[in-house]
Structure 1
């Protein structure tokens, strides 16, 4: 009984083995009959691009002025609206001018008196000179007349100086914009009493916005590369992008680097200048600063979808002359709006699979067709 049961099991195993073998042959034959997968390939051509370094920065004003009173008095008028554009010399505040107008009139009267006395002393001096020549007066009388005339001249100079000061105070009572720009809010309104001097309050501020600075910090290695590769920082191309719209770029140039590194952070402060005629860049904004190399470099660029991942490695498939897919490990560079710079692993003329990557296996035939994409990155060098 046991012998018969074993014999039946062996027969079943033999039949199963034959069936699986036949099935494998059928499947292998079916795969052998499948056509190579159709894939899109891109023939690589090197592109001339700049190398960019990226830093966080903050926008600041090229010109910013705090408006303070130069004379004491009561604010009579506020002549601007908060946030409006003001031009150089435009009236902003008026401090009650009447005390200063009165002081100007008093100084004018003092000057007139001094000039009259000078005229009188000048006539007396001329007569003394004539009398001394005729030896009709003593030398001491002549000297006294000369002194009186010189004192009268000095009095005129003093009176002119007092008048000038009074006129300046009257002028300072009318506070005008020292620069063109955007004016802030009025910190003090009409009716308030203000004082002059070191403790004078800030009445408002004006910020010039035609140009702005972007201040940023550069690490030591990047700075060493800049001074090694670039003869003049002003020639280095610079772009700026805002945090809420990284695709919009503003063109500028390096204004200067600081004269020392911060020993605590190991960075050096840089400053770039950007035109801001449309007023989109506001002092205080955070931004990204992109500093480019003067010389362009030849690089390869591929779409992100052409790049595969194998654990911590990146690879592409290159189609050889026999239309067989070859596995290539690559080193990635910067991102370019859905594309990638490839630092190494591929060469000019390689046909890289850019669409249909999931259908490709290494060392298997493929049916390559030219991809309808371009490698031109001249307009997006960042």
Structure 2
């Protein structure tokens, strides 16, 4: 009986030893540490960027003139085509000149009559003065002749003034362009009665807006205004020019780039307390006349001089409550977080204004697989997503 059970016991002992060996191997395999995770790393991109703000506004003309008549009469001629460009002094309208020419002729005749009266009164006075006062002519008669001479001279002065006014009225029948620009459509036709004068019920004949140069008006917030003051004070140590030395670029709603170059020429003298904004104005050349009064546009103002900045992909930035950070690795491939201050985005890359240096190596892919203090296996990549060396940055 014992001899039969011995082989069974030996088999059980062998099986038990085999299972124990497998358990030890499995335990050893579970205890082996995993390899360091692979991540993609890159150096921050260094570029020359310009900090700027953008605003939406409208174009306004330097000069806007309503053409109205100074005298009343019937419109005789129109000398322009609706919408054409006019120069200062170009003829626009002619009011019927005949009544005003007749009034001028009449006033000139009155001058001739007054001159004759003055000559007669002067001669009559001289004759009286040559006579002996008290015997040949009385003092009263002499005084009357003196008075007649003075009245004749006053009438002559009045006639001359009336003649000058009649000449002005005749001149006012020819309406010319007071400024250069583009004229609108005529508001009256030939044969209509035009009401002139200096009152508010005069007839509007046409409007003229200047074209080149043209202004662009916009409003900026108080914080932007303070940045421009700081930028202006850096450029001008003697005084603050309130941003009037800043350059500006502009694009229309159908343009992709800011192709129009100008400069700020006016900043208002007070901030609107209801909105916290202040009005600004820029001037742009408009030789081709494409920029039109009332048109919308977008203006871009450089808030500071171009400077070198560091940029990283947005995907490399993590968030810890209100703080932003990036993961960097040291020479031993150990992960270390660095808290950074973010700037604007340029072609998919985020400007880092504080917290990084150019020699840092940052993790740009695989952030979910790492933790601070852990070791990683880095693979080099590029953090630059654009091909341009110089970029312009929008901050507003």
Q: So what's the TM-score if we normalise by structure 1?
A: 0.77
- 2:214 aligned with 1:212: yes
- 2:249 aligned with 1:247: no
Confirm or deny: 8 A CA contact 1:45 1:349 kept in the other structure: no
Where do 1:101-120 residues align within 5 Å? 101-120=101-120
Distance 1:56 1:82 in 2: 31
Deviation of residue 154 (structure 1)? 1.5
Aligned equivalent of 2:355, options 309, 320, 345: 345
Confirm or deny: 8 A CA contact 1:100 1:170 kept in the other structure: yes
- 2:185 aligned with 1:172: no
CA deviation map 1:136-184 (0-9, x unaligned): 5333222222222222221122111111111111111111100000111
- 2:389 aligned with 1:376: yes
Where do 1:133-172 residues align within 5 Å? 136-172=136-172
Q: So what's the TM-score if we normalise by structure 2?
A: 0.74
Q: Which residue of 1 aligns with 2:309?
A: 300
CA deviation map 1:311-336 (0-9, x unaligned): 99876665755678876564432344
CA deviation map 1:80-110 (0-9, x unaligned): 1222110001011111111112212112211
Deviation of residue 216 (structure 1)? 1.9
- 2:296 aligned with 1:283: no
Q: Which residue of 2 aligns with 1:7?
A: none
Distance 1:168 1:247 in 2: 53
Larger radius of gyration: 2
What is the DSSP-based 3-state SS (H/G/I as helix, E as strand, rest coil) of the residue aligned with 2:204?
Answer: coil
**In the superposition, relative to structure 1, how do residues 340 and 38 fare at CA in structure 2: closer, same or farther (>3 Å)?**
closer
Where do 1:224-263 residues align within 5 Å? 224-227=226-229, 230=233, 231-233=240-242, 234-263=244-273
What is the DSSP-based 3-state SS (H/G/I as helix, E as strand, rest coil) of the residue aligned with 1:247?
Answer: coil
Deviation of residue 368 (structure 1)? 3.5
**In the superposition, relative to structure 1, how do residues 149 and 272 fare at CA in structure 2: closer, same or farther (>3 Å)?**
same
CA deviation map 1:190-209 (0-9, x unaligned): 22222123201211110011
Confirm or deny: 8 A CA contact 2:39 2:376 kept in the other structure: no
**In the superposition, relative to structure 1, how do residues 299 and 360 fare at CA in structure 2: closer, same or farther (>3 Å)?**
farther
- Unaligned segments of structure 1, at least 5 residues: 1-10
Distance 2:205 2:376 in 1: 78
**In the superposition, relative to structure 1, how do residues 346 and 100 fare at CA in structure 2: closer, same or farther (>3 Å)?**
same
Where do 1:61-140 residues align within 5 Å? 61-131=61-131, 136-140=136-140
Q: Which residue of 2 aligns with 1:194?
A: 194
Confirm or deny: 8 A CA contact 2:56 2:299 kept in the other structure: yes
Deviation of residue 239 (structure 1)? 3.0
Q: Which residue of 1 aligns with 2:376?
A: 364
Confirm or deny: 8 A CA contact 2:249 2:301 kept in the other structure: yes
CA deviation map 1:121-149 (0-9, x unaligned): 22223333333689853332222222222
- Unaligned segments of structure 2, at least 5 residues: 1-17, 234-239
CA deviation map 1:14-35 (0-9, x unaligned): 989989998999xx7xx89x9x
Distance 1:371 1:304 in 2: 6
CA deviation map 1:258-298 (0-9, x unaligned): 333323222222223333223232111222333333x5264
Distance 1:78 1:64 in 2: 20
**In the superposition, relative to structure 1, how do residues 158 and 305 fare at CA in structure 2: closer, same or farther (>3 Å)?**
same
Distance 2:331 2:149 in 1: 110
**In the superposition, relative to structure 1, how do residues 253 and 128 fare at CA in structure 2: closer, same or farther (>3 Å)?**
farther
